[in-house]
Amino acid sequence: METDEELMDAVREGSEAAYGTLFERHRAALYGYALRMTRHPESADDVFQETFLRVHRARATWSSHEGSFRSWLFRIATNTVRDRARQAARRPEVLGDAWEPFFHPHHLQRIELERALGELPESLREAFVLTVVLGMDHNEVAAALSISPDNARARVSRARVRLRELLEVS
């Protein structure tokens, strides 16, 4: 099986099939990240689509020397989430409370965990979701968030402390 980096090299050379394979491989992780960061289904949809469009637009700048494809993808996603948050701050949306995120309530514990994640400050949530929920290592997370690996590790550690508090309260 081709690695992500090999596939992205093929995308840079114009392969649509390679792009489709990368999309299939990462779409669930990316959507999970987008939804947990925006806490808003429509915003998550927009971030998801915009991120994959940006990946396509930036394919010529891709280089495997800069790290893994996954950290590059999530760096683009993180920037897209932050851009969107800046825009939203300038133009608040109407009926915000009515459009609370709706995770499917199949499992009560799952809901509690998602709620607790939503309570984390953004910088801790970014690091925790990428590391623990999506299984990226500290180096990948550091590259995705443009911080040092030690900083990534520290953020995850602080997130754990806060999550314990939140889960005990609930």
Contact segment (CB under 8 A) with another protein among 34-42, 69-77, 137-145, 147-155 equals: 34-42
How many residues sit in the footprint of another protein (CB under 8 A)? 45
Is 110 a binding residue for another protein by CB under 8 A? The answer is yes
Comparison of 36 and 75: residue with beta carbon closer to another protein = 36
Is 102 a binding residue for another protein by CB under 8 A? The answer is yes
Contact segment (CB under 8 A) with another protein among 64-72, 74-82, 118-126, 130-138 equals: 130-138
CB of 133 to another protein, least distance (A): 5
Looking up tokens 């998602």, which residue turns up?
A: 114
For residue 130, which of 149, 112, 115 has the smallest C-alpha distance?
Answer: 149
Among the listed residues 2, 6, 17, 49, the single contact to another protein using CB under 8 A: 49
